[in-house]
Structure 1
C-alpha cells in the first residue's frame, strides 16, 4: 500500500504544524480561564463546560496530529471542531468579533476583528487537505479503496 509522495508528506506535516500552533494558541486560554475565553463561551451559552470541553478536545487534536499513526484521526477531530467554531461565528459571534455588540467590551478586546474566524477557516482547510493527502490511512475507507484498486 503506497503512501503519499515525499513532497505531499512534507506538505501535510507543514499543514499539521500550522493547525497544532493555532490549536495551542486557542486551547491554552480556554483551559487557564482567560477572561476573553470565558466571555466568548458566555455568549455561546456554554460557559464553563463548553470552554473546558473544547479546550480538551483541541489538546487531543494536537496530540493526534503530531503522532504519525493517528494523524487522520486528528484531522477528522480538527475538522469537526472547526465546523463547530465556524458555526458559532455564523450564528452567535459574527464573522468579525465586535466586543461591544457581544456585551463584553473589555474581555473581548483582544479578540476584536475577523482573526478568530480566519484561523478557524485556515485550520479547517488545512485539515481537509491533510485528510486528502493521507486518505489511504483512513481506517476502512483507505484500506477498502486500496484493496479495490489492487483487485481491479
Structure 2
C-alpha cells in the first residue's frame, strides 16, 4: 500500500508540473517565447516540447505506461536542465529559479518512476524481435 501511494504521488507531481506548463507553451506566453527564442527554437521547440510533455503526462498517469512516460519526461527534463545550465541561467526573467527547480523536481520524480519500473523496461529490452 505504501509503495502504491508513493508511486501515485510521484505520478501526480510529474503530471501536474508538466500539464501546468502547457498553458504557457501552447498560448505563446511571453516567458515561453523568450525562452525558446533565446534557445533558437521558437516556435517549433516550444510547441514540440509541449506535445512531448502532454504525451509524457498522459502515459505517466496510466499505470501500464508509466515507465514510458517517465522515460519521455526524463528526456524532456534533461533538455530543460541543460538549457538552464548552459544557455538560460538558473533564473529566467526574474522567476527566482522557479522553472529550473520545477525541472529538477520533475527529473527526480521521473527518475524514481523509471527505477520503480526498471523490471518492465528490462523485460521489454530482453524481447527478441
Q: TM-score with structure 1 length normalisation?
A: 0.78
Indicate the residue corresponding to 1:115 in structure 2.
98
Deviates more, 1:45-54 or 1:128-137: 128-137
Gapped runs of 5+ residues in structure 1? 1-5, 100-108, 146-152
Moved over 2 A (4+): 142-145
- Aligned residues between the structures: 126
CA 1:77/1:143 → structure 2, altered by over 3 Å: closer, same or farther? closer
Indicate the residue corresponding to 2:65 in structure 1.
70
Query: What is the alpha-carbon root mean square deviation over aligned residues?
Result: 1.6
Indicate the residue corresponding to 1:104 in structure 2.
none
Q: CA deviation at 1:144?
A: 7.4
Question: Greater helix percent: which structure?
Answer: 2
From 11, 17, 23, the counterpart of 2:18: 23
Structure number, greater radius of gyration: 1
**Could you list the per-position Cα deviations for residues 93-146 of structure 1 after superposition, in whole angstroms to 9, with x for gaps in the alignment?**
10122x3xxxxxxxxx5xx211111100000001111111122222xx14678x
Q: TM-score with structure 2 length normalisation?
A: 0.91
